[in-house]
Structure 1
Amino acid sequence: MTAAQKQPVEHRGLITLVIMLATIMQVLDTTIANVALPSMTGDLDASADTINWVLTSYIVAAAIMTPVTGWLADRIGKRELFLVSIVGFTLASMACGLSWSLPSMVGFRLLQGVFGAAIVPLSQTFLLDINPREKAGQAMALWGAGIMVGPIIGPTLGGWLTESWDWRWVFFINLPVGIVAFLGCAAWLPRAERVVRRFDFFGFAMLAIALGSLQLMLDRGAEVEWFAALEIWIYLFLMLTGFWVFVIHILGAEKPFLEPAMFADRNFATGLVFIFVVGIILLASLALLPPMLSHIFGYPVITTGLVMAPRGVGTMISMLIAGRMLRFVDARLMVTAGLSLTALSLHMMTGFSPQMDSTPIVLSGVVQGLGLGLVFVPLSTVAFATIAPRFRADATSLFSLVRNIGSSVGISMVTVMLTHNSQINHAELGANVTPYNPQLWQLSPDAAQGGLQSLAVIDRLVTQQATMIGYIDDFRLMMLITLAALPLALLLRKPRVGGAPVTVHAD
């Protein structure tokens, strides 16, 4: 250990605060713009189909640029890259708020994704660097709180800003946060050694093609009826080809874009699988609940946010507890307990019905928040506990990338299942609406006799019930995925106790 490595990190608390400000700013933008899309449509002269490119452009750009974070951090310095990312992301956010057309908005959202891609993995790297190993759990608890609570409050904050002010404030709100985060990071972030590292352009190009095609396929599939469209087949071909060539390349290249030795660490490899599952559960459930509460229960945006807020509270509580427990309790037991609570919450959600009040939604949300927090903190800590420090920047970028891919896969999966199952349920329930059904005569004699208004009311009830069953089917699928992930906890290795603290290189 060098003298530089032994130097204590000053202003650790302030560094953590400004890093988390930047992280929350970036994470919020993955969901905060969703509720503003209808308002953007008219102002930007876009259609209901083309406005979705506002979301797609950001997701694709972030996915392509996330894996390159490690190389850029070595080349120009972690501190410098983080500062550039904050400035670029904030300026791109302002440009999005000033957009005058759909092409300008899509272009500025691409820039947002490019600059924002490095913020989350670098924030995790910094927190691991500036904290000793015995405090890594608490550091990951704070980091995880921002990562997981951000998407929960994003739709609520976006809805309030859109209704109270204008959709442009969804982006303008990043300016003060970005300024404070930049000034704090510029003042207190420690400098790191730079490493001259050759850029593997071919490997990056193959991975970029694969990731971009995957994100486009997942985002565009529902709009073009999936594999009924040639476009999706092209994306699938490019994705499979890109991934295949990338894997073959890094296994044989002298200095590949991502070193295969990184994946030999069992904790890190298992952590990638776990975070993929967490990504599916977290954002898939968040994608399902707002439309369910709006369309079936008739909740306005603000009420939906209030009903879902306890989920975030449960997450923060469990993360803060898990960060301290990690020093005394086996991380594998905490992950198992967290997954069990998450599965229990999803089982509770399979009992939802249009006739209930908000109490079951709140209770299941709190239980799910507690469960996800218990999984995320030990997972984020153990996944990097045994990996070599030289892999850390690449590893954290992959960790964020896999979580985002899991989120995209989960959202697409539950959306497709919801549409498909709702149609099947509607057909099966509608088949019972006949004049020969005595229950229909008891419920509505006018409908049984062919009254159009009464039949319209019955059809709305059938649609409501069919959609509710579709949501329940999705919750049951996520519960099964969670239970299937439980045995993976056995593959995690318990980190060595009393090891050397995580160090930081300072000038």
Structure 2
Amino acid sequence: MNAHAQTSADPGRAHSLRLAVLLATYMQSANLPLPNAVLRLIQGTLSMTDDQAGWIFTAYLAASAITLPIAQWLAGRLGLKLVYQAALAVFVLGLLLATVATTPLQFIAARIIQGLASGVLAPLSMAIAMETLAPEKRMKFGATWTAIVLLGIVSGPSIGGWIAEHFDWRPIFYISLPLSAYIFLVVALLLAEKKPEEAPSFDFFGFGSFTLALIGLQMLLDRGERLDWFDSPEIRIEALACGLGLYLLMVHVLTSKTHFLNKRLFRDRNFVLSTLIFFAVGFVLLSTMALTSPMLDEILGYPPDTTGALTIPRGIGLVGAFVLMGWVPERFDRRLFVAAGVALVIFANGLMLDYSPLMDWSPVAVAGAIQGIGIGLLMPALTKVAFSTLDPALRAEGTGLFNLSRVYGSTLGVAIVQIFFFNNTQAMHLALAANVTPYRAAAHGGTASMSLPALEGLNHMITHQAAFIAVIGQFKILLVAMLVVSPLVVFLRKPIPAN
């Protein structure tokens, strides 16, 4: 008897399994941005530099991007239940290591472990849930699963900020421990082990080439600023690894019959264009959060709970619009909603360019809510457009690539805005400080000499102004990213209505 037959005979078991895997989905997505509102506390405790703080997000994302493609193969070879429980155990190990970390490298290693497990948990949670549902209900549940992922991403910072404000930053990882124990117990008791009759095949050469390129590029972006880019032998080696991985992957895709990325996917115009737009959505969403929370926390001095709470309007807008899209009749052309979503995200990012050190919290809440509504409209409509014209036989592979584009868009987005943020902060600091001279001070009634505390205060003020200007510059990058992909909407074909 297969898993679907078992759970169909016992609706209570099916419901409990779906609840458990939805909790796992929420947990792994919420842990990605969980430290976002408490970066200042983590940096202070671990003596972490500003460039290392960006690794908190990119390490988790890049690690999950590596294991995401191989999750289904592992489940097919070793058993779905065994692999899922092992991933939960590894995720808990990462949580515990994060709470006891005393150095930046230890903390980043813990985040990598969490990310590796997350990349397995996400697709297998979906697979387990689908096994408990009748085929006609699976499409609708897919929207629910995506909504849970988004809810985790947008609510994580508010949870972390509240806990850190009232306790400390380390307990933010404790809340996932009882959830993990509950999920593990439910899966152990209710999920029957499942292995396919024939062991699945997997394109290890393509996967290895892709992984080599991904790791090389990520290390280049994360380490380049610290090591002065291509003046460093390490950065040159990482660039070479990235180029070699991309070259081997492209040759493999073009010359092999079976490979990591099915060439037939790239013959569907809607799928290709939608994947590019989805990449930009990932580039913008998490990068915006990675910029906004430090701006509020470190530059404007908001407490962690307030910083986290200001992510709530984005979450309400995003999840609310996403849910409402499920009620839109099929006869409405989803391309209109894609265009509306892109326009709203661009408008919201334009509002972020007007942020000021003198503002209160309301511009952040308004811009976040509008961006959330835009993405909430865009994601389900884009998914419909992408898969309505795709050959059903390619949908499983297409779903993996489609979701991977968002994950890696987020990884690159966070890394790129971090690079430009530090470069622009330094440049603006030099530009502002160049105008502070003893002669200018004397001309304005000051003195040519200043005490050490006064100089420290002046430098602190200049640094904050430079950092704020740099943040606005990064919001401009995110705006440009959406503007670049916006013309692609025009070339989308009308989706084929569901039967």
TM (norm. structure 1) is 0.82
SS at match of 1:496: coil
**Offset of residue 310 of structure 1:** 1.2
What's the offset of the Cα at 1:389?
Answer: 4.7
Q: Name the amino acid aligned to 1:64.
A: I
Q: In the aligned structure 2, how far is the partner of 1:300 from the partner of 1:25?
A: 24
Q: Secondary structure at the match of 1:179?
A: helix
Answer yes or no: is the 8 Å Cα contact 1:86–1:115 preserved in 2: yes
Corresponding residue for 1:383?
386
Are residue 495 (structure 1) and residue 484 (structure 2) matched?
A: no
Q: Which runs of 5+ in 1 are unaligned?
A: 500-507
* Residue 354 of structure 2 corresponds to residue 351 of structure 1: yes
Which residue of the partner structure matches residue 249 of structure 1? Answer: 252
Per-residue CA deviations over 1:69-116 (Å, capped at 9, x if unaligned) read: 243344456566445433442354345546688887666554433332
> By how many angstroms is 1:132 displaced?
5.9
The one of 414, 417, 433 aligned to 1:414: 417
Structure 2 residue aligned with 1:281: 284
Distance 1:293 1:58, change over 3 A: closer
Task: Give, in angstroms, the shift of residue 286 of structure 1.
Answer: 0.7
Query: 2:374: which partner in 1?
Result: 371
2:433 counterpart of 1:426 = no
TM-score normalized by the length of structure 2: 0.84
Residue equivalent to 2:468: 468
Please give the residue correspondences for 1:432-447 in structure 2 after superposition, counting only pairs within 5 Å: 432-433=435-436, 445-446=445-446
Q: Deviations over 1:312-368 (max 9, x none)?
A: 111111111122226343221111111111111111111111111111111111111
Match of 1:342 in 2: 345
In the other structure, the counterpart of 2:23 is 21
Q: Tell whether the 8 Å contact from 1:124 to 1:396 is kept in structure 2 after alignment.
A: no
Q: Give the structure 1 partner of residue 480 of structure 2.
A: 480
Residues in 2 aligned to 1:281 and 1:56: alpha-carbon distance in whole angstroms: 14
Contact 2:282/2:410 (CA < 8 Å) preserved in 1? yes
> Residues 283 and 105 from structure 1, CA distance in 2 versus in 1: closer, same or farther, beyond 3 angstroms?
closer
Report the CA distance shift for 1:156/1:226 in structure 2 as closer, same or farther (over 3 A): farther
Contact 1:61/1:110 (CA < 8 Å) preserved in 2? Answer: yes
Report what 1:260 is aligned to: 263
Corresponding letter in the other structure for 1:31: P
- Partner amino acid, structure 2, of 1:245: L
User: Within 1, Cα distance between the matches of 2:61 and 2:340?
Assistant: 32
TM-fit CA distance, 1:147: 2.4
Q: Quick one: which amino acid aligns to residue 203 of structure 1? A: G
Q: State the alpha-carbon separation in 2 of the partners of residues 351 and 43 from structure 1.
A: 33
Counterpart CA distance in 2 for 1:126 and 1:465 is 50
Segment of structure 1 superposing worse, 19-28 or 180-189:
180-189
Is it true that 1:221 corresponds to 2:217 in the alignment? no
Distance 1:379 1:212, change over 3 A: same
1:272 to 267, 272, 275: 275
Q: 1:111 to 1:285 in 2, by over 3 A?
A: closer
Q: CA deviation at 1:194?
A: 5.5
For residues 174 and 458 of structure 2, the distance between their equivalents in structure 1, rounded to whole angstroms, comes to 45
5+ residue gaps, structure 2: none
Alpha-carbon contact 2:213-2:244 (below 8 Å) kept: yes
CA contact (8 A) 1:140 1:323 kept: no
Cα distance in 1 for partners of 2:312, 2:305 equals 10
- Larger relative contact order (Cα-Cα within 8 Å, sequence gap ≥ 6): 1
Query: What residue identity is the alignment partner of 1:256?
Result: H
Letter aligned with residue 472 of structure 1: I
Q: Note the C-alpha offset of 1:465.
A: 3.0
Alpha-carbon distance between aligned partners in 2 of 1:53 and 1:431, rounded to the nearest angstrom? 32
- Letter in structure 2 aligned against 1:175: L
Classify 1:30/1:108 alpha carbon distance in 2 versus 1 (closer, same or farther; 3 Å).
Answer: same
Q: C-alpha deviations, 1:196-251, integer Å up to 9, x for none?
A: 33333322222221122122222223332333322222111101111110121133
Which of 199, 203, 208 in structure 2 is aligned with 1:200?
203
Residues 1:34 and 1:304: Cα distance change in structure 2 (over 3 Å): closer
What's the C-alpha RMSD, in Å, of the aligned pairs? 3.7
Does the 8 Å CA contact 1:65/1:118 hold for their aligned counterparts? yes
Number of aligned positions between the proteins: 489
